[in-house]
């Protein structure tokens, strides 16, 4: 996105924790991150569900938008950029080059409305960057094939392990390899809760702490029942192993049944309880699961404590290797979105 070219017009659908952090890094902390300066963006639309939407074809005043949403909890009624446009309308009608889809994941709605937002943007020949797992978990191949037909990109680095390079690494570092299996600890909330239960804290108490620290949702059921993990392993299986599965196909278990005694007995036996996601090739099929397992202390997943994640990738040519992230924050997720924006063709 060189300085001779026109700025890339961006539409944000969803402007919660992640959207605001992306904007904060690019607009409020601009001077601190010189390697992002090659991004030349004009944000022409920001759509939320209940906090108002902003549209300005000449570029929204993003700093003002950030202050309003933080100070007032919504965009100001006096902001001349304020409109009542909804997500799908904005995607279908506004003039933009890239859709940044950061709305909420819904398993019950099978990835909607994010899936329709992404599908419609790609059909219009617009690039899409998303951290929302829904579209890639429910319709990965349809969306990649739409992107291919229309000569645009569908990028989703932050859907798994926040911004830690997983899909980027596979694209650039595993050429010629067939990925035969992936496995790991991919859900921060459950790993945090299980770690705290080993210290004697109840599941309910540990969930409250995770909510206070900001990585567990107000409604933690998606995490505790294994749905978030099932969405992540579906994205990995679809994107890295050519599977066509959805979270509903994953052999899934959560941690709601675990007691403090279970967690502590595992520790006494030299093990740790972990919610393990895995996808493995079985002939032409890929079988994916999310299961509660007792991991031996020497296993590479055992040291991953609290909100950390780890992923092991197995291939036909390269020995199994792991990618790990420790103590992720919103910066990690926002960075994945920024990396995707910087990876789009000029
Ligand atoms: N937080 C993380 O660290 C993290 C990590 C990896 C992936 N993700 C994924 O990234 C996405 C965004 O996460 P977040 O933490 O920013 O979520 P969030 O704080 O809950 O924000 C979600 C945003 O989406 C908007 N929204 C919801 N439904 C919408 C609709 N139908 N049309 C338009 N806007 C809609 C919400 O509007 P209102 O504010 O009006 O409700 C809000 O602005 C999620 O899919 C999440 O799973 C998050």
At residue 1, does pLDDT exceed 50?
Answer: no
Measured in Å, residue 104 CA sits from the centre of ligand 1 at: 4
Q: Which two tokens stand for residue 177?
A: 């390899």
Token look-up 């978030």 returns: 228
Q: Which helix (H) or strand (E) holds 86?
A: none
- Helices 188-198, 203-213: crossing angle, 10 deg rounding: 130
Residues contacting 105, CB < 8 A, separation 6+: 111, 114, 132, 133, 134, 222, 228, 231
Confidence of residue 285 (pLDDT cuts 50, 70, 90): very high
Q: Whose CA is nearest to atom 13 of ligand 1?
A: 18
List all residues whose CB is within 6 A of at least one atom of ligand 1.
13-19, 47-51, 87, 102-105, 113, 131-133, 158, 162, 330, 333
Q: Look at residue 2 and tell me whether its pLDDT is greater than 80.
A: no
- pTM equals 0.96
pLDDT (0 to 100) of residue 246? 98
Q: List, in sequence order, every residue forming a beta bridge with 286; answer none if it has no partner.
A: 281
- Is the model's pLDDT at 346 over the cut of 80? no
Query: Ligand 1 centre and the CA of 129: distance in Å?
Result: 14
Question: Where does 171-327 sit in CATH, by number?
Answer: 3.30.360.10
User: Which residue owns the Cα nearest ligand 1 atom 12?
Assistant: 102
Please give the number of the atom of ligand 1 that sits closest to the Cα of 131: 10
Q: What is the pLDDT of residue 130?
A: 98
Enumerate the domain spans of the chain: 8-164+331-343, 171-327
Catalytic residue list: 232
Q: DSSP assignment of 82-149, as one string? A: EE---HHHHHHHS--SEEEE-----TTTTTTTHHHHHHHHHHTT-EEEE--HHHHHHHHHHHHHHHHH
Q: What is the mean pLDDT of residues 67-79?
A: 97
Report pLDDT digits (tens) over 74-121. 999 999 999 999 999 999 999 999 999 999 999 999 999 999 999 999
Confidence tier at 218 by pLDDT (50, 70, 90):
confident
CA end-to-end span of the chain: 5
Q: What per-residue confidence (pLDDT) applies to 119?
A: 98
Q: List, for residues 158-215, the tens digit of each pLDDT value.
A: 999 999 999 999 999 999 999 999 999 999 999 999 999 999 999 999 999 999 887 7
* pLDDT-above-70 percentage for the chain: 99
Say how many C-beta atoms besides its own lie within 10 A of residue 297's C-beta.
11
Fold category of 8-164+331-343 in CATH = Rossmann fold (3.40.50)
């Amino acid at each position: 996105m060189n300085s001779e070219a026109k700025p890339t017009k961006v539409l944000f659908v969803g402007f919660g924790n992640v959207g605001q952090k992306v904007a904060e890094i690019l607009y409020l902390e601009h001077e601190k991150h010189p390697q992002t300066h090659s991004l030349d963006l004009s944000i022409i639309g920001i759509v939320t569900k209940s906090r108002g939407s902003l549209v300005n074809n000449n570029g929204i005043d993003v700093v003002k938008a950030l202050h309003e949403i933080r100070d007032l909890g919504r965009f100001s009624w006096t902001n001349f950029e304020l409109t009542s446009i909804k997500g799908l309308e904005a995607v279908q009608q506004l003039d933009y080059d890239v859709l940044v889809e950061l709305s909420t994941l819904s398993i019950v709605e099978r990835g909607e409305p994010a899936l329709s937002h992404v599908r419609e943007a790609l059909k219009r020949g617009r690039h899409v960057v998303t951290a929302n797992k829904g579209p890639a978990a429910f319709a990965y191949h349809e969306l990649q094939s739409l992107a291919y037909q229309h000569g645009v990109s569908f990028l989703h680095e932050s859907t798994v392990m926040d911004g830690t390079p997983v899909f980027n690494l596979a694209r650039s570092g595993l050429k010629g390899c067939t990925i035969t299996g992936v496995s790991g600890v991919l859900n921060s909330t459950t790993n945090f809760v299980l770690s705290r239960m080993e210290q004697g804290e109840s599941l309910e108490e540990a969930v409250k702490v995770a909510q206070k620290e900001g990585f567990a949702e107000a409604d933690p059921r998606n995490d505790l029942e294994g749905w978030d993990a099932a969405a992540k392993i579906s994205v990995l299986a679809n994107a890295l192993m050519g599977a066509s599965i959805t979270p509903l196909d994953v052999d899934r278990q959560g941690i709601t049944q675990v007691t403090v005694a279970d967690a502590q007995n595992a520790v006494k036996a030299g093990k740790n309880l972990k919610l393990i996601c895995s996808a493995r090739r079985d002939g032409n099929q890929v079988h994916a699961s999310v299961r509660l397992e007792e991991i031996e202390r020497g296993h590479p997943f055992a040291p991953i404590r609290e909100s950390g994640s780890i992923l092991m990738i197995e291939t036909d040519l390269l020995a199994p290797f792991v990618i790990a992230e420790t103590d992720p924050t919103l910066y990690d997720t926002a960075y994945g979105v920024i990396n995707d924006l910087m990876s789009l063709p000029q």
